[in-house]
Amino acid sequence: MPDNYIQDMMKRVKAMQIEALATVTSGVFDAVTYWPYQQEVTPYMTNRLGEMTPDYDAFTEDIEQYNHTILMRIVVDHITAGYAGDKADLAINTPND
Within a domain: 94: no
- Region 64-93 average pLDDT: 72
pLDDT digits (tens, 9 = 90+) for 39-68: 888 889 999 998 877 666 666 666 666 678
Within a domain: 41: yes
Inter-residue contact 17 to 45 (CB < 8 Å)? yes
Determine if the pTM surpasses 0.95: no
Amino acid, res. 86: D
More confident residue, 36 or 89: 36
* CB neighbour list of residue 83: distance below 8 Å, 6 or more residues apart: none
Within a domain: 96: no
Show the domain range for 70.
Answer: 5-88
Within a domain: 16: yes
Domain count, the chain: 1
Within a domain: 64: yes
Strands (E), 1-97: 30-32, 44-55, 65-75
Residue 45 burial by Cβ neighbours in a 10 Å radius (0-12, 13-18, 19+): buried
Within a domain: 97: no
DSSP 27: T
